[in-house]
Chains A and B, each alone.
Chain A
Amino acid sequence: MEIRTPKTHKAKRVLEKRAPKLVENGKKTLILHGTKTSATLSAVLMELYRLKKGGAIKYSRRNENIRPFESGGETSLEFFSQKTDCSIFAYGSHTKKRPDNLVLGRMYDHHVYDLIEVGIENFKSLLSFSYDKKIAPHEGSKPFICFTGEGFENVPELKQLKEVLTDLFRGEVVENLNLTGLDRAYICTAISPTKVFLTHCAIKLKKSGTIVPRIELVEVGPSMDLVIRRNRLPNDGLRKEAMKSSKDKPKKKLKNVDQDDVLGKRGRIFIPEQEIGKKPLPDKSKGVKRERREGKLKKNKEEGSASKKQKESE
């Protein structure tokens, strides 16, 4: 036996990122398709990829040996999940028996955890919606997710679909949220015990009398009907293990602070290097009249602070 360690820092960081942790990274989605896809299905997969741009990987080749609901047909999926570190997958296929079929599945430890198969009907692509481009949602923004309908509570398949859709659209779990960056919402309505209407809307914030703005939703994105076909729930044991969470919070290392017995709590401050030789001198051109001079100084100050703002927002 021999010990193999990564030879570069980058490789080490990648391995550490993929290791099991107490607080996990956001789940990445793997989008692929089977032997045959229809036009609607390839559009669905493409738009799903666009919606989840930062956290999704799309494979463009067809995969003939993936059959999620059969016992041997999951090995390829598990291999891809291992290679790309993706825990959710969306597998599309089109057959005569199951037209426009989409299988949404999740992985636990790179093994299939649960599956749900939906058929897509009445698909409207995001290119067919016309709206004011200013309210178009930005890539990677955290969405609102809304479920309506008693079916999501009573029907077990819809319950599972609700969980899978939440996992799919959630993105990263964040502690701090910028309120100006809220610009999208996913609306899922249970029309019948087997059908769910899913649409993606942009959010318009309108002035109201209070701090809370009035919300207006404008349909921008793809909208489709999901018809429940097959599903597979996880075993109880596996479910229990996957839902386990550790009670203790991860210790956040407080840097640059240490306790001294004599002086008490001490902190370290790092000052950036002052490049005195490179600093631009103020434009105190004496040849120009005073008002003009002061105006120039003000303008340079404003320009300086504006570029700083840009830098911080990036």
Chain B
Amino acid sequence: MDMETDQIYQIDVGNLLAFNPNHRFPSAPSSREELVKECVTEGTKLVQAIADTLFNFPSTETNDGPLVQLPPPTTKLPREKHLPRPKPPTKWEEFALKKGIQKRKKDKIVYDETTDKFKRRHGYDRVNDDNDIPIIEAKASDEPGEDPFAKRLDDKKKRVGKQEKNRLQNLKTAAKAGALPSHVQLAVTALPISGTKTQPQKLGKEALGDVAGLAATSTASGGKFDKKLPGEKPPKKQGKHHKYLPVLPRYGEVDEEKEQTNKVLSKLLSKHSHEILNVGKAIDMYNDKKEKKKSGRSDKLKAKKDITKKKPYANKAK
């Protein structure tokens, strides 16, 4: 709105912004209130100028009030993130472009000739399901003794693995160009080559707790009397872990001890017991034991008998 020749404001309606470049304070304002008043009056003029243009826009009536379409803002402000970079074409896309292969939209429901029905392409009860094939005809090129069903599964696994590798490669090239899709992150998992920088492995809480326990076992008493730091948990049970089964089973529950012994017995008495028992090993163990007994058990740890000590109740009556 032109009031005087030099009162042209710079208005940006898209941002609801107005700038008056032609104002200056003629003299130092007398008091704070005067200053504030003058600023507010100047501001009012600017807001009025924006409102003039704003209320003259064509408006549509809605329940909440008149809706106006704002023009795009004219003041250029810096972006907060870079512009999205174009994705480099994947290997398949390059190949398709070269060969001139067009994408064809596939239907969700397909006609299945074997059952004369319309079945879905993917998902439950799908067309051409691998698990549904009852018979695979043998070809002349097949080796005898090779399971064709297992072979199919194996082939599928290989195909899936190859596809995953290709996908990873495509994502790597996209990441190099700075155009990785927003929901994907590439993370390093394998160990790097020695000499290069290793990613520092973050120790979890449990690992740190175990380290203290490991150090404690090197003490003479096995860490039992070590002073514990505040918040340090008592050490987990060291040594062998025995699970003792209840002697009498609870009401309605299976007798686990009985089951255990039955299991062993059934294994021994079964048809294939000769396969379970390693006869050679059993013989060796038995022979070893016999020899040890014969040699008099030269165990260093066995307490030596004190011959000077007298037996308390020696039979004096001869």
Contact surface of A with B, Cβ cutoff 8 Å: 1-6, 12, 15-16, 18-22, 24, 27, 87, 106-109, 113, 122, 142-150, 152-153, 162-163, 166-167, 170, 173-182, 185, 187, 189, 191-192, 197, 199, 201, 203, 211-217, 219, 223, 234, 239, 241-246, 309, 312-313
Residues of B within 8 A of A170 (CB): 15, 77
In angstroms, how far is the closest chain B Cβ from the Cβ of A135?
Answer: 14
Closest 3 CB pairs of A and B: A19-B182, A180-B65, A187-B43
Confirm or deny: B244 has a beta carbon within 8 angstroms of a beta carbon on chain A. no
Confirm or deny: B18 has a beta carbon within 8 angstroms of a beta carbon on chain A. yes
B14, B44, B171 interface centre (most CB from chain A within 10 Å): B44
Residues of B within 8 A of A180 (CB): 64-66
A150–B14 Cα distance when bound, in Å, is: 23
Residues of B within 8 A of A22 (CB): 83-84
Chain A contact residues, majority secondary structure:
mixed
The answer, among A16, A166, A239, A244, for a CB contact under 8 Å with B17, is: A166
Category for how many chain B residues contact A? 35 or more
Residues of A within 8 A of B171 (CB): 3
Confirm or deny: B79 has a beta carbon within 8 angstroms of a beta carbon on chain A. yes
The answer, among B35, B68, B73, B81, for a CB contact under 8 Å with A191, is: B35
- B163-177 vs A, CB cutoff 8 Å, 1 = contact: the mask equals 000011001100000
A107–B78 Cα distance when bound, in Å, is: 9
Confirm or deny: B110 has a beta carbon within 8 angstroms of a beta carbon on chain A. no
A176 B15 Cβ-Cβ under 8 A: no
Residues A144 and B52 in contact in the complex (CB < 8 Å), given A1-B186, A163-B77: no
A19–B17 Cα distance when bound, in Å, is: 28
Interface Cβ pair total, 8 Å cutoff? 213
Residues A149 and B20 in contact in the complex (CB < 8 Å), given A109-B81, A177-B67: yes
B56 A211 Cβ-Cβ under 8 A: yes
The answer, among B48, B73, B82, B190, for a CB contact under 8 Å with A109, is: B82
The answer, among A108, A162, A176, A191, for a CB contact under 8 Å with B78, is: A108
Confirm or deny: B70 has a beta carbon within 8 angstroms of a beta carbon on chain A. yes
- Nearest CB to that of B17 among chain A residues? A145
The answer, among A19, A143, A144, A147, for a CB contact under 8 Å with B20, is: A147
A217 B47 Cβ-Cβ under 8 A: yes
Residues A166 and B77 in contact in the complex (CB < 8 Å), given A144-B18, A179-B66: yes
Residues of B within 8 A of A142 (CB): 16
In angstroms, how far is the closest chain A Cβ from the Cβ of B30?
Answer: 13
Contact surface of B with A, Cβ cutoff 8 Å: 14-25, 32, 35-36, 39-40, 42-44, 46-48, 50-52, 54-56, 59, 62-70, 72-73, 75-84, 167-168, 171-172, 182-190
Residues A217 and B84 in contact in the complex (CB < 8 Å), given A150-B21, A313-B63: no
A148 B39 Cβ-Cβ under 8 A: yes
In angstroms, how far is the closest chain A Cβ from the Cβ of B181?
Answer: 8
A–B Cβ pairs within 8 angstroms, 17 of them: A27-B80, A87-B80, A107-B80, A145-B18, A148-B42, A150-B23, A153-B19, A167-B78, A173-B73, A178-B65, A178-B67, A179-B68, A181-B65, A197-B39, A213-B51, A215-B51, A242-B78
In angstroms, how far is the closest chain A Cβ from the Cβ of B242?
Answer: 40
A175–B13 Cα distance when bound, in Å, is: 11
A166 B16 Cβ-Cβ under 8 A: no
In angstroms, how far is the closest chain A Cβ from the Cβ of B1?
Answer: 10
Residues of B within 8 A of A145 (CB): 15-18
In angstroms, how far is the closest chain A Cβ from the Cβ of B278?
Answer: 43
- Nearest CB to that of B41 among chain A residues? A217
**Given contacts A176-B69, A187-B43, A213-B51, could you give 4 more A-B pairs where the C-beta distance is less than 8 Å?**
A1-B186, A2-B187, A146-B17, A148-B42
A157–B253 Cα distance when bound, in Å, is: 83
The answer, among A3, A24, A178, for a CB contact under 8 Å with B66, is: A178
In angstroms, how far is the closest chain B Cβ from the Cβ of A20?
Answer: 4
Residues of B within 8 A of A223 (CB): 36
A234–B188 Cα distance when bound, in Å, is: 34
In angstroms, how far is the closest chain B Cβ from the Cβ of A40?
Answer: 16
- Nearest CB to that of A6 among chain B residues? B183
- Nearest CB to that of A197 among chain B residues? B39
A212 B55 Cβ-Cβ under 8 A: yes
The answer, among A1, A87, A167, A211, for a CB contact under 8 Å with B55, is: A211
A2 B65 Cβ-Cβ under 8 A: no
B82 A199 Cβ-Cβ under 8 A: no
A19–B180 Cα distance when bound, in Å, is: 10
Residues A4 and B25 in contact in the complex (CB < 8 Å), given A177-B68, A243-B78: no
A244–B102 Cα distance when bound, in Å, is: 34
A147 B19 Cβ-Cβ under 8 A: yes
A3 B43 Cβ-Cβ under 8 A: no
- Nearest CB to that of B29 among chain A residues? A191
- Nearest CB to that of B39 among chain A residues? A189
Residues A246 and B15 in contact in the complex (CB < 8 Å), given A16-B182, A179-B55: no
In angstroms, how far is the closest chain A Cβ from the Cβ of B44?
Answer: 5
A289–B129 Cα distance when bound, in Å, is: 71
A149 B24 Cβ-Cβ under 8 A: yes
Residues of B within 8 A of A1 (CB): 168, 172, 186-190
A147 B18 Cβ-Cβ under 8 A: yes
Residues of B within 8 A of A174 (CB): 70
A20 B21 Cβ-Cβ under 8 A: no
- Nearest CB to that of A21 among chain B residues? B84
